[in-house]
């Protein structure tokens, strides 16, 4: 996760696609989550996160996009 997420963000930037918001999940240590969010990952979810919580988060991102 500390390799792939930064690489994805880098490729999006190089492609002029920084408007694409990156989210992810899995077993990611809290310190790594904080660092990834500082680098631009919009949301990270741990194991067992309810699907409804993830859906609500994504819907919130969509609302933010419409407001900007």
Q: pLDDT per residue over 29-39, tens digit each?
A: 999 999 999 99
pTM of this structure: 0.86
Residue 1, judged by CB atoms within 10 A of its CB (0-12, 13-18, 19+), counts as middle
Domains of the chain by range and CATH? 4-67 (3.40.50.280)
Model pLDDT for residues 1-20, shown as the tens digit of each residue: 999 999 999 999 999 999 99
What CA–CA distance (Å, rounded) separates 24 from 33? Answer: 10
Q: What is the pLDDT of residue 12?
A: 98
φ, ψ (nearest 5 deg) of residue 47: -60, 140
Mean pLDDT of 44-64: 94
What CA–CA distance (Å, rounded) separates 8 from 5? Answer: 5
The β-bridge partners of 25 are: 45
What CA–CA distance (Å, rounded) separates 64 from 10? Answer: 22
């Amino acid at each position: 996760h500390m390799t792939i997420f930064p690489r994805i963000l880098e490729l999006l930037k190089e492609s002029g696609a920084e408007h694409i918001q990156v989210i992810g999940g899995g077993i990611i240590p809290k310190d790594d989550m904080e660092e990834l969010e500082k680098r631009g990952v919009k949301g990270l979810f741990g194991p067992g996160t309810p699907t409804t919580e993830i859906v609500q988060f994504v819907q919130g991102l969509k609302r933010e996009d419409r407001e900007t």
